[in-house]
Structure 1
Amino acid sequence: MAFENQQQASAYWRENIRLVLGLLTIWFAVSFGCGILLVDWLNEFRFFGFKLGFWFAQQGAIYVFVVLIFVYARLSSRLDIKYNVQED
């Protein structure tokens, strides 16, 4: 990976860190918010026969994490193309 100049490298990493922090915020909101803070309210609803809060705590947060991995891979690839540092 070779950047044309230091300014381009700084801009790339600034966008990459912003992307990572955004995705981690989503993961935190789902795992902590839905699995712990909002569990009592979510348990009033059912999902595939399970209480929704329980489902988020046991499986939902994991599914969201796996989806976020694919989202990061796609957005990171686009970022690489934008700054012309993609692998061929």
Structure 2
Amino acid sequence: MISKTVVVNLPADAEARPVAVLVQIASKYESKITINSQNRRINAKSIMGMMSLGFGNGDALEIEANGPDEEVAVEEMKNYIESVK
């Protein structure tokens, strides 16, 4: 199992697209991936779950993955969260 904490970098006018992209990224991997925020643990492959988090610019998220491709999965999600334009 691997986990990393990242700070969200979203533009003020961001809507659902960044969340949808995160779900697409997570869904590419075999590992179980969760996002932990505000004492909630959400399956990163669930669009409804991810949208329910309601995270915004400056929020800290913990990405946790467990499986054969966990390191690559966490790194790609981290890079996306930190660089959304």
Normalising by structure 1, what TM-score?
0.33
Higher share of residues assigned strand = 2
Normalising by structure 2, what TM-score?
0.34
Q: Which has the higher contact order (CA 8 A, sep 6+)?
A: 2
